[in-house]
Amino acid sequence: MNSAIANKTKNRGGRPEKPIKRNQQLAVMCTTIERKVIESKARTANVSISEFLRTLAMEGQVGRKIKVLPKEVLLFTATLNHLAANINQIAKKRNQNNPLSASDWEDLRALIASIKTLVTDIKKFLE
């Protein structure tokens, strides 16, 4: 009797069972063009074709799943946008054949240092 109880409580490993199994298959006949459209819409919604069709049938519409980027990636993007705007201002001045002043050169050196720091931070984040 003890071995029967031990067998029931012993964790055999593997993937845990889902409370509701999807074990029913439903075939849908469509043309090649309709299939491509369904696949494209599922890809756009960032879901599988099965999930797309299930959700569409049950709810009448499919909401798009949005991938959330980590906070650090968003901060890197914001820093790059800021640096790009500053470099663009210096380039515009230079393209108008205006010489760069000492403060412009200092700003440029500071931008280069900021870019190097950002590259280092990105490398650390990816490690």
Q: Where do the domains of the chain lie?
A: 26-66, 71-126
**Helices H / strands E in the chain, number of each:** 5, 0
pLDDT at 9: 62
Mean pLDDT of the chain: 81
Give Cα 11 to chain centroid, integer Å: 35
The mean per-residue pLDDT over the stretch 1-11 comes to: 58
- pLDDT score recorded for residue 2: 56
The pLDDT tens digits of the residues spanning 110-123 come to 888 888 888 888 88
Confidence at residue 92, expressed as pLDDT on a 0 to 100 scale: 84
* Tokens read off for 23: 């074990």
Q: Is 84 a residue whose pLDDT tops 80?
A: yes
pLDDT confidence of 31, banded at 50, 70, 90? very high
pTM over cut 0.95? no
